[in-house]
């Protein structure tokens, strides 16, 4: 009987890791942060299976091969967080390969791969690499019905300012930290209805209004089970600065507004973790300033925009995620379109720099049969890990969602994430150190 040929998916996770020999800038030399990414051959295993993996350790925000650590530790943990297996692997050019043979010594259920270096233990364990895998049984997710919900409200720039129109982001989650669908109504404390709103993505959304310092505002939330809760927003400041950001396809557009009594010279800082990026002095004798910066001049990934006064006090700040063309292009080219079962497959992999030049590096590739159960949003990839989830404090739900397309909707939802998450603490504290504010930006500026 003839069988239809099976189709396979080359999971390019194709974890590409390019060792670059270059001197880090002075700030990165002092911060010395490491991050780990683990590429496993799959996310679901049989009880007697073997878990194959490749680990990559990076240093600094440029994600170059780390020279700090020589060893990586990889743990397999059960549901009680007990270590079932541990591997200690030598790093060569920042990477190492290994495996765990299960041999039936792990029960069916959800398990976790954890990876770290000894140097990373100097920082919060939250930033160890973690990935959930399933051993045995169905790939269906466990349905733990939550009983508690919560929400928080975060004005763009950090504060609401009297009589200055602004954006307020919100995030509603269940007790596992997963986003939930909610609706809400913003009222004054006297009951005047102002804005109706609802979540749009993983419990996140925004609304716009013009606050007044003399009025208190209350958000009335309705959760999925019909329960309700009220949240009092932070009071609008009588004076201060607002910071608003809008991205176009090729530029970062920043608008700064202030109350009249706060009009003074300030500095705009745009910075990524571990490196000084740009500093722009602003003569803020005007009440509004608009700045446009070409995104090609900024590194890919998260940057923090901060407004500082002469004493280096933060007046306003917010995170942005920059997408640009500075990514490596990877092509997988099989030598044949169809292979017989059991035959050897030959594949060419081409790595091309943004400038069109060939590049070399260390790669790992996993091959899986195409399945209806495969959901790219659930995958953990080197991009989503190194550029997003490892840079933020707290749980990020399905970070790969933001990397499987570049449409405007994903970009909008990614900006919601930037408005509702915080930098990991060891990054945020470094961002405004005046010793490293040294690079002037190229931008267009208009004040009125």
Q: Which CATH number goes with the domain that contains 67?
A: 2.60.40.1930
Residues 99 and 196 in one domain: no
Q: Please state whether beta strands 266-272 and 301-308 pair in parallel, antiparallel, or not at all (unpaired).
A: antiparallel
Euclidean distance between CA atoms 183 and 195, whole angstroms: 11
Give the model's pLDDT for residue 115. 97
Residues 73 and 181 in one domain: no
Within 13 Å and on the Cβ side, how many CA atoms surround 438?
8
Residues 99 and 15 in one domain: yes
Residues 48 and 77 in one domain: yes
Domain membership of residue 282 (yes or no) is: no
Q: Is the dihedral of CA 393, 398, 400, 402 positive or negative?
A: negative
Domain membership of residue 382 (yes or no) is: yes
- If one counts the domains in the chain, the total is 2
Euclidean distance between CA atoms 133 and 61, whole angstroms: 28
Domain boundary among 214, 232, 250: 232
Confidence of residue 77 (pLDDT cuts 50, 70, 90): very high
Confidence of residue 432 (pLDDT cuts 50, 70, 90): very low
Can you give the C-alpha Rg of the chain in angstroms?
24
pTM of the model: 0.84
Domain membership of residue 96 (yes or no) is: yes
Residues 91 and 194 in one domain: no
Domain boundary among 199, 232, 265: 232
**Token pair of 42, please?**
């799959």
Domain membership of residue 344 (yes or no) is: no
Residues 205 and 109 in one domain: no
Residues 129 and 155 in one domain: no
**Token pair of 1, please?**
């009987």
Give the model's pLDDT for residue 186. 98
Residues 126 and 191 in one domain: no
Query: Average per-residue pLDDT in the chain?
Result: 83
Residues 130 and 153 in one domain: no
Q: Please state whether beta strands 95-101 and 83-90 pair in parallel, antiparallel, or not at all (unpaired).
A: unpaired
Residues 21 and 70 in one domain: yes
Residues 123 and 197 in one domain: no
Euclidean distance between CA atoms 371 and 391, whole angstroms: 31
Domain membership of residue 298 (yes or no) is: no
Residue 282: in which H helix or E strand, if any? Answer: strand 275-282
Q: Which residue has the higher pLDDT, 283 or 52?
A: 52
Give the model's pLDDT for residue 317. 94
Residues 91 and 12 in one domain: yes
| CATH value at residue 167 | 2.60.40.1940
Domain membership of residue 441 (yes or no) is: no
pLDDT at 435 over 50: no
**Can you give the residue range of the structural domain that contains 221?**
149-232
Domain boundary among 210, 232, 254: 232
Neighbours of 346 (CB within 10 A): 10
Domain membership of residue 164 (yes or no) is: yes
Domain membership of residue 286 (yes or no) is: no
Confidence of residue 213 (pLDDT cuts 50, 70, 90): very high
């Amino acid at each position: 009987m003839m069988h239809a040929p099976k189709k396979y998916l080359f999971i390019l996770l194709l974890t590409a890791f390019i060792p670059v020999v270059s001197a880090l800038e002075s700030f990165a030399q002092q911060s010395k942060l490491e991050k780990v990414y683990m590429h496993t051959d799959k996310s679901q295993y049989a009880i007697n299976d073997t878990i194959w993996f490749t680990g990559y350790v990076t240093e600094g925000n440029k994600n170059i091969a780390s020279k700090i650590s020589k060893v990586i530790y990889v743990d397999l943990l059960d549901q009680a967080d007990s270590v079932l297996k541990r591997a200690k692997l030598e790093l060569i050019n920042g990477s190492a390969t290994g495996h765990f043979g299960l041999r039936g010594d792990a029960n069916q259920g959800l398990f976790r791969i954890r990876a770290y270096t000894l140097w990373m233990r100097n920082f919060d364990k939250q930033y160890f690499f973690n990935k959930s895998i399933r051993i045995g049984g169905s790939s269906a997710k466990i349905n733990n019905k939550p009983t508690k919900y919560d929400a928080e409200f975060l004005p763009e720039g950090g504060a609401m300012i009297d009589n200055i129109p602004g954006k307020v982001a919100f995030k509603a989650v269940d007790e596992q930290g997963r986003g939930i669908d909610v609706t809400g109504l913003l009222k004054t404390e006297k009951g005047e209805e102002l804005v109706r709103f609802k979540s749009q993505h993983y419990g996140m959304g925004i609304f716009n209004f013009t606050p007044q310092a003399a009025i208190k505002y209350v958000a009335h939330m309705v959760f999925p089970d019909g329960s309700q809760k009220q949240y009092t927003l932070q009071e609008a400041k009588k004076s201060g600065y607002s910071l608003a950001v809008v991205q176009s396809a090729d530029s970062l557009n920043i608008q700064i507004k202030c109350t009249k009594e706060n009009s003074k010279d300030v500095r705009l800082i745009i910075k990524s973790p571990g490196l000084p990026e740009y500093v722009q002095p602003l003569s803020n004798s005007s009440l509004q300033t608009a700045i446009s910066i070409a995104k090609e001049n900024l590194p890919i990934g998260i940057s923090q925009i901060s407004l500082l006064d002469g004493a280096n006090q933060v007046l306003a700040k917010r995170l942005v995620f920059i997408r640009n063309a500075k990514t490596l292009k990877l092509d997988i080219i099989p030598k044949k379109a169809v292979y017989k079962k059991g035959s050897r497959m030959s594949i060419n992999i081409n790595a091309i720099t943004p400038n069109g030049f060939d590049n070399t590096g260390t790669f790992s590739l996993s091959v899986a049969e195409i399945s209806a159960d495969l959901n790219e949003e659930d995958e953990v990839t080197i991009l989503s890990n190194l550029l997003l989830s490892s840079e933020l404090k707290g749980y990020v739900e399905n970070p790969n969602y933001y990397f499987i397309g570049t449409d405007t909707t994903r970009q909008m939802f990614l900006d919601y994430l930037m408005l509702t998450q915080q930098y990991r603490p060891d990054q945020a504290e470094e961002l405004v150190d005046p010793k490293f504010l040294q690079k002037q930006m190229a931008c267009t500026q208009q004040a009125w």
